[in-house]
Structure 1
Amino acid sequence: MTRITLNGTEVDLDVSPDMPLLWALRDGLGMTGTKFGCGVASCGACTVHIDGVPARACQTFIRDIAGAEITTIEGVETPEARAIQAAWVELQVPQCGYCQSGQIMSASALLSSTPKPTDDEIDIAMDGNLCRCATYARIRKAIHRASEILEA
């Protein structure tokens, strides 16, 4: 049994310690907002926050997160996340939408640490979040817009 804090609520995970967090979330807890993309931590579709830091849930094992605070797309409620979500809608960022939960998790973490990121800082922070539809220019523009929303 592994205890974590998931989206602000303490949860006991009765799963194998070798299970990736992604599958504990999706199959064990029915939280399907975190997506399976590649399974090798290369695409970013499964990005969650572990103790406030973006991490790939497909390669994060239950044995490594005892006592950690996990935030998923279902529970991210920071001002930065709300600004990112508003900018995503305003600028119509998603095309197919599959990668968007991971993109939003990475972008909100960026704005938490860097409120006015440059293009280079955005590119570095978002590196590893792949978009099959290639909406990278819209994603960058939305991150800048979210920064403006936070300033207002």
Structure 2
Amino acid sequence: MATAMDVEAVEADTAPEPLPIAELVGGLFGDVDLGLDAAIDVARLADQLAGLPEPFASFGPERITRVVDAGIRSAALMYEYRARPFRGDLVYFTAAHDAPAGSAGAATWVEAVDGTVRDFDVAQTHWRMTAGSALARIGSVLAEVWAGSPDSAAAVE
């Protein structure tokens, strides 16, 4: 079994649009609002993160800049990667505040998985899937799935 959190399986012909840094790092901090605006640059972001309590304070702006730069390079590698089909089932978690109509993201995985794709709503936006309430929902669903009694999510066709 595999799990996915609100991510689409796509093969792109062109490079994806860059994401604003503020949105990208916003998902790492759950419920914490860093007050970042969409126009923040890497150097300003590194300074702001280095000013947070531990563990960020001890990283320093230089190390944080290297980590962010590595993340940007990783995004380019992800664009180039082509996965083999996954053998097994997929438990998919949809950020329900972004996709109130349901399983559009989960449906992109149907061709990449030879088992069943089951979609479960999480009452958050994509960038807040690491918030406490979202992780509690995900943990609860996974416990039910591993116990053999998943809740009412339907298979995605």
Q: Between the two structures, name the one with larger relative contact order (CA 8 Å, sep ≥ 6).
A: 2
Say which one has the larger Rg: 2
What TM-score do you get using the length of structure 1 for normalisation? 0.21
What TM-score do you get using the length of structure 2 for normalisation? 0.21
